[in-house]
Homo-oligomer: A and B are copies of this chain.
């Protein structure tokens, strides 16, 4: 189908165009750029920019919509095996629903596969998908099959959330205590293929506490904390000593910047925080405090030294 002489070249043209370059905040910049071009009607409570879109639905519930694209060689290698690829593809999107305080309901799976791919790949891929879908009562209601030289999976999920339980990235205030679920770092060595999306934990949180802001940590704590602060127009301070390191993590740096953890990052007022620590001290860890925006985002080292925390997590561009 492609005609022999492309009119539009996908090549870098230094003089005329700004190009995607691997940089600190490029992806955030691109998302903002896209969001600036979109105009939505009043049924859209929250569009581009959070973990999932929030849409008017019933009297007491919102509809949540999210999608995640995974590409061979970027988000998984073939060595992962079809079950793990299927499992992770759904898990990433479910993690986005969790991050809003919601419950998943329906999923669509678009799959690009090589023509040489054995039919049994599909069986094993869906075995991985179904394992997770059953666990979190998610109906797989459709999808699309395409031929592609590299495996591409895009999973869209529709969920719901009670209006009172909705958690956005933008609700944090200076003075809030910052928490994470689970352990961070080293997920890339294998855990990223079998992590459990924090649907239950998030649901416990929004049902029992007033969560001010929440998101999932998909691209690394430093980058995702930056995103949360950006959405809430705040600064933050976190303490090296408090960051709960996974035994897979080879260094603190991995816990801060490596990505693929799919844990929850959230904030509570100090009163609510005390209550949470008392009741569920081991599941969730307080790692710092939200500050005024002008404070910036800072990391206090084990020696008590204070430095700016650069957002250095995983970025596609």
| A143 proximal to B (CB < 8 A) | yes
Question: Which chain B residue has the least Cβ–Cβ distance from A192?
Answer: B1
**Is there an interface contact between A147 and B317, defined as CB atoms closer than 8 Å?**
yes
Question: Which chain B residue has the least Cβ–Cβ distance from A133?
Answer: B38
Q: Residue A110 contacts which of B7, B38, B68, B149 (CB distance < 8 angstroms)?
A: B68
Separation in Å of the A282 CB from the closest CB of chain B?
30
| A225 proximal to B (CB < 8 A) | no
Distance of A72 Cα from B76 Cα, bound (Å):
21
Q: Residue A106 contacts which of B7, B10, B58, B65 (CB distance < 8 angstroms)?
A: B65
Q: Residue A52 contacts which of B44, B110, B137, B142 (CB distance < 8 angstroms)?
A: B142
**Is there an interface contact between A12 and B118, defined as CB atoms closer than 8 Å?**
yes
**Is there an interface contact between A118 and B74, defined as CB atoms closer than 8 Å?**
no
Q: Which segment, of A119-127, A164-172, A234-242, A263-271, faces chain B? A: A119-127
| A95 proximal to B (CB < 8 A) | no
Separation in Å of the A92 CB from the closest CB of chain B?
9
Q: Residue A10 contacts which of B73, B114, B316 (CB distance < 8 angstroms)?
A: B114
Known pairs A73-B2, A75-B1, A112-B152; A65 contacts B119 (CB<8 A) = no
| A48 proximal to B (CB < 8 A) | yes
Distance of A201 Cα from B55 Cα, bound (Å):
27
Known pairs A7-B81, A12-B116, A118-B19; A73 contacts B108 (CB<8 A) = no
Extra contacts, 17 of them, besides A4-B79, A20-B113, A115-B316 (Cβ < 8 A), are A1-B73, A2-B78, A6-B77, A17-B119, A17-B120, A18-B118, A34-B122, A43-B139, A47-B139, A55-B141, A67-B156, A68-B110, A68-B144, A69-B152, A71-B146, A110-B154, A156-B156
Q: Chain A: residues with CB nearer than 8 A to chain B?
A: 1-13, 17-20, 22, 27, 30-31, 33-34, 37-41, 43-44, 47-48, 52-53, 55, 58, 63, 65-82, 105-106, 108, 110-123, 126-127, 130, 134, 137, 139-152, 154, 156, 158, 188, 316-317
